[in-house]
């Protein structure tokens, strides 16, 4: 099963992608996580990506596309994958389609998680992430078992650098301008599924699972 998660920053793409990846035993590929891992390791890619991410801007397409296409061709993706945060522009979607065509395959579902902008800024201020393993929590909606400590690896959880309210607003503006046109793009391909992202995390997950049966 090949799935794309669409939706604004903070809509819950990563939260649902992680749950789906576990249920279907397929890789969860988050371009944001890949960039954050590169930033942590201070790679050349990480240095370039950080300058855009900290401003709430998209990393240029040429730094993203080949990286993702290579990843999708890895052995562990042969039964499918969940793309979280890619594609994010029409040119990225077209490049992905070209690569899929070459491989004789296609996307099964593009899931748009819909959350109004007003909910997002609030939601992001409560998000905490593990700088080590990337696990995501929410102080109210998805707390850790021990306050402030990652359930998975025991590290202290933090507010992501780009989750300051001003940067969140910029990311939302960029989303509406550059990423939301993908909704029509995948609707035209008849793979779009829309879901109300304001519901409870578990309820959304159950609807997604039903939708994919
Ligand atoms: P990325 O890491 O992809 O960030 P994003 O798209 O802005 O999305 P987020 O990760 O912020 O939100 P999410 O939808 O995953 O929500 P989450 O599940 O965490 O990208 C970061 C940056 O990298 C970009 O700005 C860009 O610069 C660059 N980048 C990445 N990919 C790129 C690409 N392809 N091209 C160019 N640049 C790229 O949930 C949010 C919070 O809400 C959490 O605390 C969660 O616990 C909580 N929550 C989730 N669901 C619910 C719910 N139903 N009810 C209540 N709370 C909930
Ligand atoms: Mg995410």
What confidence tens digit (pLDDT) does each residue in 38-86 have? 999 999 999 999 999 999 999 999 999 999 999 999 999 999 999 999 9
**Residue nearest to ligand 1 atom 40, measured at CA:** 10
Residue 11's pLDDT is 97
Q: What backbone phi and psi angles, to 5 degrees, belong to 5?
A: -100, 120
For residue 35, how far is its CA from the centre of ligand 1 (angstroms)?
13
pLDDT at residue number 142: 94
Position 213 scores a pLDDT of 84
User: Taking a C-beta distance cutoff of 8 angstroms, is the pair 76, 27 a contact?
Assistant: yes
Nearest CA to ligand 1 atom 34: 86
* Residue segments in the chain with a per-residue pLDDT below the cut of 50: none
Nearest to 69 by CA among 112, 16, 20, 105: 105
CA-nearest of 132, 134, 126, 81 to 103 is 81
| Atom 45 of ligand 1, residue of closest alpha carbon | 138
- Ligand nearest the Cα of residue 203 is 1
For residue 20, the CA-to-ligand 1 centroid distance in Å is 16
Ligand 1, CB cutoff 6 Å, lining residues:
7, 9-15, 30-32, 35, 52-53, 56-59, 64, 85-86, 88, 92, 123, 126-127, 136-138, 141-142, 162, 171, 197, 199-201, 204
Residue found by looking up tokens 């829309």 in the block? 194
User: For residue 17, which of 6, 8, 9 has the smallest C-alpha distance?
Assistant: 6
Catalytic residue selected from 19, 36, 127, 128: 127
Active site residue 127: yes
**Active-site residue among 2, 13, 128, 193?**
13
């Amino acid at each position: 099963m090949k799935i794309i998660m669409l939706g604004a920053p903070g809509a819950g793409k990563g939260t649902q992608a992680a749950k789906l990846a576990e249920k279907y035993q397929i890789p969860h590929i988050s371009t944001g996580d890949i960039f954050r891992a590169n930033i942590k390791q201070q790679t050349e890619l990480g240095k370039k990506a950080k300058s855009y991410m900290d401003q709430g801007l998209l990393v240029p397409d040429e730094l993203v596309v080949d990286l993702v296409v290579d990843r999708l061709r890895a052995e562990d993706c042969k039964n499918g994958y969940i793309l979280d945060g890619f594609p994010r522009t029409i040119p990225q979607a077209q490049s992905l389609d070209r690569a899929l065509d070459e491989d004789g395959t296609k996307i099964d579902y593009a899931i748009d998680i819909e959350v109004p902008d007003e909910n997002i800024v609030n939601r992001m201020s409560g998000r905490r992430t593990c700088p080590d393993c990337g696990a995501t929590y929410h102080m109210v909606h998805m707390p850790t078992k021990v306050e402030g400590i990652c359930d998975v690896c025991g590290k202290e959880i933090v507010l992501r650098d780009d989750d300051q309210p001003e940067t969140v607003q910029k990311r939302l503006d960029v989303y509406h301008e550059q990423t939301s046109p993908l909704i029509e793009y995948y609707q035209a391909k008849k793979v779009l599924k829309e879901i109300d992202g304001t519901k409870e995390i578990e309820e959304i997950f159950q609807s997604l699972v039903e939708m994919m049966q």
